[in-house]
Amino acid sequence: MQEKLEKFKQLIAQVVDLGRAEALLGWDQLTYMPRGGAEDRGNILETVAGLSHEMFTSKEMGDLLTELAPYVDTLDPDSDDACLIKRTAHDYEKSTKVPTEWVAEFARVTTLGQIAWEEAKAADDFEVFRPHLEKVMELRRAYADFFKPYDHVYDPLLDDFEPGMKTSEVKAIFDALRPQQVRLLKEIAAKPVIDDSFLHIPYEEQGQWDFGVDVITRFGYDWNRGRQDKSVHPFTTGFGIDDVRITTRFDPERAASALFSTMHEAGHAMYEQGVSKTLRRTPLANGASMAVHESQSRMWENLVGRSKAFWQFFYPRLVKQFPAQLGNVSQEQFYRGINKVEPSLIRVEADEATYNLHIMLRLELEIALMEGSLQVGDLPQVWNRKMEEYLGVVPPTNREGVLQDVHWSGGMMGYFPTYALGNLVSAQLWEKIHLDIPNLEKQISEGKFEDLLHWLRLNIHQHGAKFEPQVLVKRVTGSTIQPEPYIRYLRGKYSEIYNL
């Protein structure tokens, strides 16, 4: 049996290598590839994705998984080998339902779609992107059909990013969360508006870059195993445990954008840098799910990066970096400014109290697109109507509306709900972390993050994708994903800021 296990590991390592090569091509596409290279890059990605799928869904892989199934019962269920075989069997069963031709076509279409999205956003012209999105949606509905019968057409897509979770579960969580967040927003809206005008003046780009680099270096981001570049939409991608890269972006009208993007992406990257090296070249050398992944990025960006303790240490350094902009702004004014609650157009710039509403809107639209009750051509109008309904604001342009996110160009329907779920997980973990590290706030106020990162390494990072998200969250916190800790966090924070 040991010989079969080693053969299985060799084969799965080759599949993982192809996936990493595909990721490297994708990273280059979004950072340094010349704009004219889209068609050639699409052809390359089509070939690589097809080869990877063929290798993974081969008869040899299927035979090995069948032969290893009885062996799993003899192992510790939490062992690397048991988790690897079970996770691969789940992915294999799902992948064998998807034809290689679909996988190759999807890679090509989404590569062209991402370039078209960039052009459409720059030109504020949805029609440039529309035919590409229509083709993406056609492929996504075909993908869901491979998994009939299902409880809901959205389930197969959601499972790609949040293994084991159903659309009905997400709806139930959001239904419990929405009224409490709306209630909080109404209370805040009755209070005086916070002045954050000092954030909307020019800040030199290199200074923003340097400050962000200093912050995430102190967090524990390992520059020997990573790098940072610029992209249209910030993202993190890894080509192995020892090569996890991030990007950020600069907005001349939002000085805090690059800093919080850098912290956010570093949270993702430190997760993957912390995966146990015993999981190298396996499908387990990733996050447990996108919600758990997002819990790490949102924790470092918000629970740490927007906290009063954090700025006790870092604000004097920021003022030194930007004396002309912040010399007359007190630390308290700055803290209140970066935590201002105001319904806004752009998801990635949204405050913590309104962010989840952006996600709920997108989930509603994705489900409607998948069900066929909404057509791609009607998206701009429906988007604007839903923005007014959810947040009370209407985008003046499609660039600030339906074209603001990159995800649909890459076919990532099913991804958006994980952003809000990640917020909830971050708050659950935060409560447990405070129990285990009682002086955490003091450490943060002194610019010390070693204990926090060690806790995350021990309880979350090292396990990679060994456990399903709900299982992992329950192992660490004692319960599955719940909205109450997040509401407690928001209530506590904003009651103090707005004197609720």
Q: For the chain, how big is the Rg over CA atoms in Å?
A: 22
CA 395, CA 346: separation in Å to the nearest integer? 9
Catalytic-residue membership of 265: yes
CA 294, CA 356: separation in Å to the nearest integer? 13
CA 353, CA 343: separation in Å to the nearest integer? 9
Phi, psi of 94 (to 5 degrees): -75, -45
| Cβ proximity of 282 and 229 under 8 Å | no
Omega into 149 within 30° of 0, i.e. cis? yes
AA letter at 166: K
| Burial zone of 2 (CB within 10 Å; 0-12 exposed, 13-18 middle, 19+ buried) | exposed
CA 369, CA 322: separation in Å to the nearest integer? 46
Catalytic residue among 22, 46, 118, 265: 265
Closest residue by Cα to residue 228 from 205, 276, 261: 261
* Rama region for 34: left / alpha / beta (φ>0; ψ in -120 to 50; rest): beta
> Annotated catalytic sites, by residue?
265
